[in-house]
C-alpha cells in the first residue's frame, strides 16, 4: 500500500482543489453574479472578490502541494464557514445535503492538514 500512498495523496489534492479552483474561476468570469449570489445569502457582495481569491489562490496552492497544510487549514475553515452561513437551512433537503457535503470536504482537508501533501508535491520536493 505504501507504493500507492503518494499517488493517493496527489489524486486527493487534485479532487479537493478542483472544486475550489473551478468555482473561483466561474466567479471570476461572472463577478456580478458572484456578488449577487452571496448577497442573496446575507453576505456583503463586496466580499465576492475575497471569496474568489481564496478559492483560486488557496485551491491552486493545494493542487501544487505548496504550503499544503496551511492551505488545507484555510480552505477547511472557509468550507465550514460556508456551510454555516450558506447551507444551514436544514428544512430544505438540498441545503442539508450541501451542508453535509461541506462537512465531508472539510474532513478531507483535515486529513490533508494532518498528513501533508506527500512526496508528489512542491512541499515533498522541498523536503528532499
Q: Into how many domains does the chain fold?
A: 1
Say yes or no to pLDDT of 1 above 90: no
Would 47 be classed as within a structural domain? Answer: yes
Please report, for residues 40, 113, 125, the alpha-carbon distance to residue 71 in angstroms, rounded to integers and kept in the order given.
Answer: 27, 8, 17
Would 125 be classed as within a structural domain? Answer: no
Rounded CA separation 39/32 (Å)? 10
Would 108 be classed as within a structural domain? Answer: yes
* pLDDT digit string, tens, across residues 64-92: 999 999 999 999 999 999 999 999 999 99
Q: What is the 3-state secondary structure (H, E, C) of 53-105?
A: HHHHHHHHHHHHCCCHHHHHHHHHHHHHHHHHHHCCCCCCHHHHHHHHHHHHH
Would 126 be classed as within a structural domain? Answer: no
Over residues 40-56, mean pLDDT: 96
List the domain range (segments joined by +) for residue 76: 5-119
CA angle 64, 7, 72 (to 5 degrees): 40
| Residue 105 backbone dihedrals phi, psi, to 5 degrees | -65, -45
pLDDT of amino acid 127: 87
Distance between alpha carbon 93 and the CA centroid of its chain, in Å?
Answer: 22
Would 127 be classed as within a structural domain? Answer: no
Would 36 be classed as within a structural domain? Answer: yes
C-beta neighbour count of 105 within 10 angstroms: 21
Amino acid at each position: 500500500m505504501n507504493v500507492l500512498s503518494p499517488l493517493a495523496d496527489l489524486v486527493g489534492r487534485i479532487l479537493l482543489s478542483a472544486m475550489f479552483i473551478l468555482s473561483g474561476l466561474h466567479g471570476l468570469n461572472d463577478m456580478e453574479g458572484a456578488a449577487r449570489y452571496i448577497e442573496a445569502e446575507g453576505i456583503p457582495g463586496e466580499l465576492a472578490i475575497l471569496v474568489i481569491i481564496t478559492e483560486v489562490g488557496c485551491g491552486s496552492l493545494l493542487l501544487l502541494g505548496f504550503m499544503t497544510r496551511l492551505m488545507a487549514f484555510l480552505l477547511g475553515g472557509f468550507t465550514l464557514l460556508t456551510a454555516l452561513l450558506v447551507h444551514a437551512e436544514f428544512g430544505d433537503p438540498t441545503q442539508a445535503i450541501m451542508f453535509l457535503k461541506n462537512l465531508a470536504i472539510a474532513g478531507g482537508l483535515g486529513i490533508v492538514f494532518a498528513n501533508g501533501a506527500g512526496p508528489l508535491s512542491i512541499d515533498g520536493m522541498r523536503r528532499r
